[in-house]
């Protein structure tokens, strides 16, 4: 039996592997794996591209994926995809939309009504298709979403690719519960907000226009056949009556005129007794009052692309006057905490996910309805925009310390990296925010390369302007040069260089006689000669040090 090895979010056993998360290092570049299963793990094109022996790929996860990512696998011959879908809610007799996705050609997958819905034995069509992925729910039937599949051709070599769209009964759409005898007499209203889950039979009394009301009687059938005719009245006015033998009349669609009025149904049950071959009829009457409101119907615009840090704006139209709108942004179908404004800037947590938003309108006297937008494409990495360029501060003089200001970006980066440059070339080990100018910098120009990075963003690099040429430093003379000794023929004079900051590395001396330099008198001492009689003698001291401008001071005359 092949050994099993786990690393990151992947387990490898022989030529097979299973990944359950984002860390797929264990399979990246593996040229021996032929069978890969992704269980709620992201599709990574670069990983698939590196698996040159991959023959079979099974994917089980959210529907919000780009199918073209699968085509990165160079040797893929068998692809099995199962989408993890969620139920939706629809309002009987109104339009609803199913979630769609893009096929291998990048075009949205086309739905065919006959392949995906059944009416479980009813003779009327269960749904009516009125648009690409838009359907109208029936007025009186139960229906469920069926398994289906999509076939496409790999453009490169024509290999057939097949995958499941829905498994089991992930999507269940019910117009309302079928007529039943529950043991107590009552009226039930079937409704649910748009775009949330399947319709049931709650006992709510405030409902939108178009809600279907059903009659539930107390009689049970003991015969081989049962028919029920219903007559509906608003107050004393009959508003709907079944035709002979037509049980469909036991469902009534509420209108605005029904609001606040007593709604009564008279249900007559006709039961056929097979043993004695006769029909037995019983009649029951139930009443209830509903508050019927116009639903707030909105039209939401599609947002195609999304990028970390780039603000998105919900697009809403057709809102009735005076309606207040409530927003909620979603990541892969789940609410994003705190994202309840009309705008939202995708964060790092959204990277690789698809976003959508819901809008709920509210107004006194109208019925609130939750509307959900289409998904965006997968969120891509954001780009930093430089709003203030990085710059260098400090004196551009040998021995001084320069400091870089990284500048600002449209979004604050997670961190900065620095590299100091001398005449455009990298300075070894100079990677901090500060840099002390050295001897190698004198006569050169300095700049800094600043790299901004952060989770969810592409790295961004900017380089500061070059400084002016680095200048030599200057000495500070605290005390000037002086001469000690008696000025008489044969005596020795001694030059004292004075006090300097910083301390010079060396001094040069030149003695003068009445303003003229004395030949070869370049030491710190000088012996007075006959030539000096009656003349003025003094000394000039020149201090020097690497990186500093040489400076000369003159002693007083003797």
* Residue 457 exposure: Cα atoms within 13 Å on the Cβ side: 23
pTM comes to 0.51
Q: What is the pLDDT of residues 422-471, one digit of tens each?
A: 999 999 999 999 999 999 999 999 999 999 999 999 999 999 999 999 99
Q: Are 100 and 110 in contact (CB under 8 A)?
A: no
Q: What is the pLDDT of residues 200-213, one digit of tens each?
A: 233 567 888 877 77
pLDDT at 546 over 70: yes
User: β-pairing, 16-19 with 35-39?
Assistant: parallel
Q: Are 204 and 236 in contact (CB under 8 A)?
A: no
More confident residue, 240 or 435: 435
Dihedral sign for Cα atoms in the order 461, 467, 472, 474: negative
Burial zone of 1 (CB within 10 Å; 0-12 exposed, 13-18 middle, 19+ buried) = exposed
| Mean pLDDT for the chain overall | 77
Q: What is the pLDDT of residues 12-41, one digit of tens each?
A: 998 999 999 889 999 999 999 999 999 888
Peptide bond between residue 297 and the one before it cis (omega within 30 degrees of 0): no
Which of 239, 231, 212 is closest to 286 using CA atoms? 231
Strands, E assignment, 49-106: 56-62, 78-84, 95-97
CA–CA distance, 147 with 65 (Å, rounded to integer) = 19
pLDDT at 252 over 70: yes
pLDDT at 83 (0 to 100): 61
Give the angle 62-64-66 at the CA atoms, nearest 5°. Answer: 120
Q: What is the CA radius of gyration of the chain?
A: 44
More confident residue, 220 or 31: 31
Cα 368 to chain centroid distance, Å, stands at: 29
pLDDT at 121 (0 to 100): 38
pLDDT at 506 (0 to 100): 96
Rounded mean pLDDT, 483-504: 94
Q: Are 344 and 318 in contact (CB under 8 A)?
A: no
pLDDT at 98 (0 to 100): 58
Residues 6 or more apart whose Cβ sits within 8 Å of residue 62: 40, 83, 84, 332, 333
pLDDT at 118 (0 to 100): 40
More confident residue, 408 or 150: 408
Residues 6 or more apart whose Cβ sits within 8 Å of residue 290: 189, 205, 206, 207, 211, 213, 254, 258, 259, 263
CA–CA distance, 122 with 135 (Å, rounded to integer) = 18
CA distances, 545 to each of 150, 503, 550 (Å): 82, 8, 7
Q: What is the pLDDT of residues 120-176, one digit of tens each?
A: 433 344 556 665 556 565 543 333 333 333 333 333 333 322 222 222 222 333 222
pLDDT at 288 over 90: no
């Amino acid at each position: 039996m092949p050994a099993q090895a786990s690393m990151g979010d992947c387990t490898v056993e022989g030529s097979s592997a299973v990944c359950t998360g984002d860390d797929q290092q264990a399979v990246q570049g593996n040229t021996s794996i032929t069978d890969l299963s992704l269980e709620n793990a992201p599709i990574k094109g670069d990983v698939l591209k590196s698996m040159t022996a991959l023959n079979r790929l099974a994917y089980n996860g959210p529907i919000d994926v780009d199918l073209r990512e699968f085509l990165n696998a160079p040797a893929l011959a068998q692809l099995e995809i199962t989408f993890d879908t969620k139920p939706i809610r629809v309002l009987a007799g109104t339009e609803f939309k199913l979630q769609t996705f893009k096929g291998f050609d990048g075009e949205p997958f086309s739905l065919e009504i006959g392949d995906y819905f059944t009416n479980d034995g009813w003779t009327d069509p269960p749904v009516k298709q009125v648009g690409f992925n838009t359907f109208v729910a029936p007025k009186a039937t139960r229906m469920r979403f069926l398994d289906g599949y999509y076939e496409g051709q790999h453009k490169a070599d024509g290999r057939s690719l097949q995958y499941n769209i829905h498994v089991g009964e992930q999507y269940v759409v019910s117009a309302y519960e079928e007529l039943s005898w529950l043991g107590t007499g009552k009226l039930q209203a079937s409704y649910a907000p748009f775009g949330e889950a399947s319709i049931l039979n709650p006992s709510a009394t405030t409902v939108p226009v178009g809600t279907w009301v059903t009659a539930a009687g107390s009689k049970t059938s003991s015969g081989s056949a049962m028919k029920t005719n219903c007559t509906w009245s608003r107050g004393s006015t009959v508003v709907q009556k079944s035709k002979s033998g037509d049980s469909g009349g036991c469902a009534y669609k509420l209108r605005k005129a029904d609001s606040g009025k007593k709604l009564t149904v008279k249900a007559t049950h006709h039961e056929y007794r097979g043993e004695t071959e006769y029909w037995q009829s019983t009649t029951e009457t139930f009443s209830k009052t509903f508050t019927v409101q116009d639903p707030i119907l909105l039209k939401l615009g599609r947002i195609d692309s999304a990028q970390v840090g780039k603000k998105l704006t919900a697009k809403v139209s057709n809102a009735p006057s005076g309606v207040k709108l409530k927003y909620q942004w979603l990541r892969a179908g789940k609410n994003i905490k705190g994202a309840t404004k009309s705008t939202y800037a995708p964060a790092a947590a959204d990277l690789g996910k698809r976003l959508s938003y819901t809008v709920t309108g509210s107004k006194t006297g109208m019925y609130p309805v939750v509307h959900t937008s289409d998904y965006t494409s997968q969120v891509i990495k954001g780009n930093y925009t430089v709003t203030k360029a990085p710059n260098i501060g400090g004196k551009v003089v040998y021995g001084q310390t320069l400091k870089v200001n990284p500048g600002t970006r449209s979004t604050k980066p997670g961190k900065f990296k620095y590299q100091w440059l001398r005449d455009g070339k990298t300075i070894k080990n100079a990677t901090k925010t500060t840099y002390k100018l050295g001897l190698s910098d004198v006569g050169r120009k300095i700049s800094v390369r600043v790299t901004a990075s952060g989770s969810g963003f592409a790295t961004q690099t900017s380089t500061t302007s070059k400084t002016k040429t680095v200048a030599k430093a200057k000495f500070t003379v605290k005390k000037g040069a002086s001469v000690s000794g008696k000025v008489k023929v044969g005596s020795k004079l001694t030059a004292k260089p004075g006090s300097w900051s910083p301390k010079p590395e060396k001094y040069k001396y030149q003695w003068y006689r009445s303003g003229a330099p004395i030949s070869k008198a370049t030491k710190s001492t000088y012996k007075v000669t006959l030539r000096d009689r009656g003349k003025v003698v003094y000394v000039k001291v020149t201090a020097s040090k690497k990186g500093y401008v040489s400076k000369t001071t003159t002693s007083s005359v003797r």
